[in-house]
Structure formats: structure tokens, C-alpha cells
Chain A
Amino acid sequence: MDKIKVALIGQPNVGKSTLFNILAGDSVIVTNWPGTTVEKHEGRRKHREVEIQIVDLPGAYGLTYSTIEEKISRDYILREKPDTIVVIVDSLSIERTMYLAIEILELTGRVVLALSKIDRTHSEGIHINYNLLEKSLGTPVIPISAIRKYGIDILLDKVVETAKKSVSKTLHIDYGELEDYIARISEEISGLQAYIGVPLRWLVVKFLEGDQEIHHLIESISSDLYRKLVEIKREAENRLNSNLQLYISSRRYKYLEELTEATISRTSISRRGQDRLLKLLYNPILAPLTSLSILFIVFTCIFIVNTGYPLTSFFIFLGYDNIAEIIEKSSLNGLLSELFNWISEYVYEVIGESTLSKFLVEGVVGSLFALLVFIPLLVIVFTVLGVIEDSGIAPRLAIGLHVFFQKVGLSGHSVFPITLSMGCNVPGIVATRSVLTAIERSRLMLLIPFIPCQARLVVLLAIASSIGGVIGSLLIPMVYIISLLLVITLSYFIYLYDRRRTSGPSLELLLELPPLHRPVPRVIWWFTWFHLKHFLVKAGTIIITANIIAWLVTHITPGFVITDIISESIGFELSSYISPILRPLGIEGYSAIIISFALIMGFIAKEVFLTSLVAVTGFATPHEAIKSLGLSQPSVLALAIFITLYIPCVATLATIHSESKSIKTTLLTLILNIIIAYIMAVIIYNVTLLVL
């Protein structure tokens, strides 16, 4: 069987990923491009006895050497020399998205153009003369609709055909006044071209554009030659009195304009519905309100479906405790815990209650469930994220909010991750993918663990009810306000620090907005499934492992005997060594040991802080357990702050690691959290001591 190597390339938003998924299906492997954090997607497809290896190159606007995505794409094309390159062009905006195709055609003739989204051209009033386009470019032009799987076979036929071509012709663009200089430089470096292995003309034009890689290359080969060429370039610049890169890009666009005028006709159609929606999204007052309302409603629904909260609190508040209970039981979490109880009862019946069965049930199955609990939450979140992104609403919402966030060094894109984090940090961290720059993404990931999540709210509620009174009711708002102020301040300082280190505008925005359209279910499904799989594999292993270790540590004594009594376990013993750090918070003695233990357990999940207290003190409810510790009010307040800020739960930490792929970031987060939490707790303790 023949084997060929094919690369997919295209500008952002043209539908490249959709096509890639249609072509490669289940065979997709995701790794990283060597030495980068950019994901590499590869797959395979068999087409009429030919095995096609497909690589999805990162979205790039052109072939300069400036962004990491362009570097990767260009390096791949030049070094790996794929048999065919499929350049995807968006039929709805050919005048812009074909620019990349033109650059690539100047480099190689082994190209097939795929015009995507063809199913929508008709409703947009666009008519394309494919034959003329094909003839003018000298390259096969295939209209496709990845979503409707239209044109795929023909595309693959052409891809195989092109791979087997022996000779390929490149596109020749007329560079007007530069042609003389191109000729002169070509003469000087004609020997070099064979050495580098690219078309001579392409090399020369890139040199005139000021391409970094080409300049370094030539200089390293012969500095005399290099100097000569730089002289010619300078002459050209003076003669044209213009930035050469601009001139060259303009010539390419001129070619493109003439091409599209000849091959594309547009009839105007009514866009009134869309324009009205746009007006809403762009209105400076309505936009932020709309964004926040959408986000608020969505997240409330998510959390109600998941645990019943806050609907349950609402009913409890009204006095309808029984309704609240029903809601909680039928929520996803409620159902999952029923399932867990059923399984544990079954196992105990069959195997009997022994250490092994306990380990199996509580340790292994329990850990598995700790992971499963996240799935419904994440599925809903990813689906909503997918809808907002695919429809084109997301970037427009971000614009409305950009101004507010810019002041503290974040862009409007961070609103989604931040709001999500108030429910649960895990999806919040995953959502940072929608943020544009890597710098901002790392910054957000450092900040998110400081945002109080639903689990922490539960802990705070227990603490608040143990104090009661005015202070008790003020506790929660106070903690939230302090946390959010902390996030804003930290963000601002990290922003200043980053700005001092890097040059060039860091928060400048230049972003293409995909056209608004009805989201496509299949695309959203892929998106959701892809991210869920990613989470389960990467973060999942860590979460399960941590839970198992936690179970072991709380069920084995220092003498390595299995025990049921928690206060005899290694874990508890460890806490007695740690408990002295609570002294500056006014917590000492046995209470300190119990609390340290609960804090360590809180690493697993913040609610486990409460369940540990209950398990050790023997009281039935968390707030009774807290009361039994006899802490002073300043201590309780300091503790509340500490618990809110001290460390992200293991799920969050695992997600940070799998998303940032950097141990450094993960450790930094951990350390930063602990230090700041401790400092804040000590401050709060002393301040309240003075005040109360």
C-alpha cells in the first residue's frame, strides 16, 4: 500500500479542525510540537488503497517567522516536505483567507485548495467560479463542506493525485518595482538555493521582506554575501520609499483582489437579524449586562443540575426542607452518591467487611467516584463553552468587558474562566484556553485558586453557623470580598512585573471575530468530548492516586497496622508535627492537631475538611464539630480566610498541571497560595484581635 504525508494548514476560523476531525476521525493522536506547548494533532486515513498520514498544522495567517504557530507550520513544510499540502480557505471570506494560500503557492506547487463552508455560500449570496480559480492558480480547487461531508472524497482524490505528481510549479506574483532587485539578488545567491532546498524566488522575496530566519541563514553562510544583499535591500527601500514588507504584502493582496474580482460575485442579502444581535453585543452598557446575565444564568443552572445548590438553599430558606432534600437527591451528585452506596453495600455483602474490601470500596471505588463527580459538571460547562465559542458570541462578549479587565492586566476573555471558577476552579482552569496570550493564561491560572468556589462556600457556611450571631453572618461576605480584592491586587502586581520583563504591547488586542452563526451540534460535541477525554486522562490519574494515598494514610498506624480509628493513623501523627504553625492564629493544643489534620485532608477536596472534623471529633454535624474545638472568634475568622486561600484542592492542582503542562507553574501556585493564605490569616487574626 502506498503511503503519503499530508499537511493541513489554514488561517484561524476557516474550519480546519472540523475538516481534520472528519478526515482523521478516531485515529487522532495529540502530542506536542517538540520544545513548545502547542498541541500537535496527527491522524490517519485510508483512501482507495493509499494510507494518508495527516498532520494538522497550527492556524497561521501567513508564513513569516514571528508567531510560534507560523514557525511550527513553516518549519514543518520546509523540513518534512509533505507530499501534499491542503490549504483550507473560508469561502465566506476568500478575499482574506486566501492570502495564506498564495504565500504557500509561492513556496511549493504540491498544494490542493479546499474551500470550506461551501454549504453557506448560497445563503450569503456568494458565487464562486471554481474552474477559473483553478486555472488561474494552477492548483486544484475543491469546494467542501466538512460538516455535511460534502466534497471529501473528491478532495482526497486530488490530494493523492497531487502527491504523485512529479513536477510542481510555484505561483509567480508580479512584484512591480521590486522585480529588478529580485533579479539582482537572485543572481548573487543562485548557488545558495540548491543548498537550502527552496525555490530561489521564494528565498529572495523572503529576504527582501526581512525574514529573520532567512537573514540569519544567509549571514551564517557568508557574511560578505550577506552584506552585499543587505545593501541591495537598502537600495530597494530607498527607491520605493516604503517598508518592503508592506509593499510585498500589498502586491500579494493586489493579485488576490484581481483574482477574486474575476472569480467571485456577491449579491447583497439582508443581514438585519444579525446586525440587531451585534448591536446588542456591542452596546457598552447592554453588553456587559448581557454577558453577566448569560453567565449567571448558565452557571446557576449548571450547579443546580449538579448538586441542587443554590436551589436547595433557596427552599431551605423558605422552610421547605423536604423539597430541598428531594432536589438534592435527584441532582447528579445525589444520584452518584446513591450509586456509590449501592455499590459499597453490594461489595460488603459479597466479600464481607474486611480491610481489603474497605480499601476497595472506600479507597479505590471512592477515588473513582471522586473523579466521576466532575464529569457531569464538566460536560455541561464544555458544552456551554462550545456553544458560545462556535456561535461567535464569545469574542464579542469579551470585547464589551475588555475595558474593565484591562486595568488589572487581564483581557475581556478572562471573564468566563473567572466566573466559572466561582462555581468550581477545575472548569475555570480549563476555560483559560479561551484567553489569547500564553502570558495572560499563566497569570490567570495562578490567580484562579484564590477565587472561592462552591466547595469552599460549603465550608464557610459551616464555620459561619458555628459562630452564629452578627459575626457569623458577616463572615461569608467578608471572606469573598477579601478574596476578590486579593485577586485583583495580585493580578495588577503580576501584570506590572510582567510588563517590566517583556517589551512590546502585551495586552494589545488584534483579533479576528468569526462571523455569527448558528452553532453546529457535531462541532460542539467534538469539542466537549475532546476536552473531557483530556481531563479524565491527565487530571484523572492524579486525582485517583491522591485519593487512594489519602485513604491509606488515614487508615494505617505508624506501626503499619490497619486501623479504623483515624486518630491512630499516620496522617494524624503527621498533623501533630504541623500543628505548631497554627499558634500565630491563636490555635493550640489538641484542637490545633485536629484542625491541622483536617487542613491536610482538605487538600483532597475542601469539603473533606469538614468530614474529617466530624470523623475525628465524633460530632454529628460540621458546625457542632467546629464549636467543640473552642476557638476564639479571631481564630475562627483567621481560619476561615486560611481555608479559603491556602491550597487548591487536588483536582484543581491536577488540572493546572495538565493544562499548563508545567510543573513550575503548578508548584508556584501551590507555594504562592500557602504563603499568601498564611500571611492573610495572620493579619486577619491580629486585626480582629485588636478590633473585637
Chain B
Amino acid sequence: MLTNPSKILTLDSVKTGKKVAVKDFAIHEWAGLISRLAYMGILPGTEIEVVLNENRGPLVIRVRGVEVSMSRGIAKKILVEELE
């Protein structure tokens, strides 16, 4: 799965239609957010498909078969790696 080691970006910059895998979270202050993400099934290693990303407004992603909308603020804190 690790195609290009340096290709790590934040979720909010992933283009529509791309699939990525979660690497880590850059969340320090708001611990509650981590458990919320975990409950949505978003964890390191989880595969995410970006269904909609218009560079403004919330993103829509598909994770574990469920569509989830997520504001950019949160998406910025999720580090992902592109899958080929």
C-alpha cells in the first residue's frame, strides 16, 4: 500500500474521487474529536474515498461503506496517504 513514502497530505487537500488511507491525526487540543472519528470508523489504516471536495464547504467521504460529511476544519487534522 505504501507507494510513495513522501506522499502524505491532509484530508482536506485530497481531490474528489481519490482513495486514501489514514496515517495519523494532528489533533492535540480536542481529544473528544478523536473518539468521534474513531466511532465513525476513521482510524489509522482506514481507507477513505473522497466523494466530494470543492475546496470550500464540507467534504463528503465514504468510509466503511457509509457516507460522512466533514467540515474542512476537521479534515485538515487528518493525515492521509494516497492509494494507487
Contacts and interface: CB of A to CB of B under 8 A. Distances in A.
Interface residues of A, number: 35
Contacts of B30: 504-505
A96 B58 contact: no
A512 B66 contact: yes
B58 A399 contact: yes
B69 interface: yes
Given A93-B65, A96-B65, A64 B35 contact: yes
Interface in B34-55: 34-41, 43-46, 51-52, 54
Contacts of B52: 282, 399
A250 B71 contact: no
Nearest to B65: A93
A284 interface: yes
A511 B69 contact: yes
A597 interface: no
Given A505-B74, A508-B71, A62 B32 contact: no
Contacts of B36: 61, 66, 510
A106 interface: no
A310 interface: no
Contacts of A92: 65
Q: Which of B38, B71, B74 has the most CB of A within 10 A?
A: B38
Contacts of B38: 62, 245-246, 249
Contact of A399 (B29, B66, B69): B69
Contacts of B40: 61, 96, 510, 512
Given A399-B69, A511-B69, A66 B32 contact: yes
A460 to B, nearest CB: 35
Contact of A93 (B25, B37, B64): B64
A243 interface: yes
Contact of B43 (A93, A253, A511): A253
Given A505-B73, A510-B70, A253 B41 contact: yes
Contact of B66 (A93, A245, A403): A93
Interface in A281-307: 282, 284
Contacts of A99: 39, 41
A277 interface: no
B74 A508 contact: yes
Contact of A243 (B34, B58, B68, B70): B34
A519 interface: no
B60 interface: yes
B43 A399 contact: no
Given A243-B34, A245-B35, 5 more contacts: A62-B39, A96-B63, A278-B51, A508-B33, A509-B74
Interface of B: 25, 29-41, 43-46, 51-52, 54, 56-58, 60, 63-71, 73-74
11 contacts: A92-B65, A93-B64, A210-B31, A243-B25, A243-B34, A284-B54, A399-B58, A400-B57, A504-B32, A507-B71, A509-B71
